[in-house]
Homo-oligomer: A and B are copies of this chain.
Amino acid sequence: MTSLMKTTFGEYIRLLRNENELTLTQLAAKLDLDSANLSKIENGKRDFDEKRLPKLARIFKLKLTELRDEYVTDQIGKHIYETNCTKQLLEVAEEKAEYRRTLNKSLQTQ
């Protein structure tokens, strides 16, 4: 795994956009998105729609898998934040995810 950003996904997009010297309008057009809405996304007032990840990856020549990791960790991080989930509880959540995986496995074998 390459190092992931300790920022929100919106801030990450802004970073990419600035590095590539694009305006909101220019990037929004490439993403087939309204520039006003892209502004809200960068400012954390809306979520980036997952279906646009492939486009975003192409525009900035990023690996889709890494971009998706960036996205997923942002989403779960947001979930953790919004529910005030402590580290301790997060461990429980991870165990429960593991439990769901075993449930799914046993379903497969039937």
Contacts and interface: CB of A to CB of B under 8 A. Distances in A.
A82 B52 CA distance: 19
Given A6-B99, A8-B100, A100-B8, A90 B78 contact: no
Chain A at the B interface: SS class: helix
Interface string A68-110: 0100111111111101010111101111110111010000000
Work out how many copies of this chain go into the complex.
2
Given A7-B99, A8-B99, A100-B8, A89 B77 contact: no
A4 interface: yes
A72 B92 CA distance: 10
Nearest to A70: B92
A27 to B, nearest CB: 22
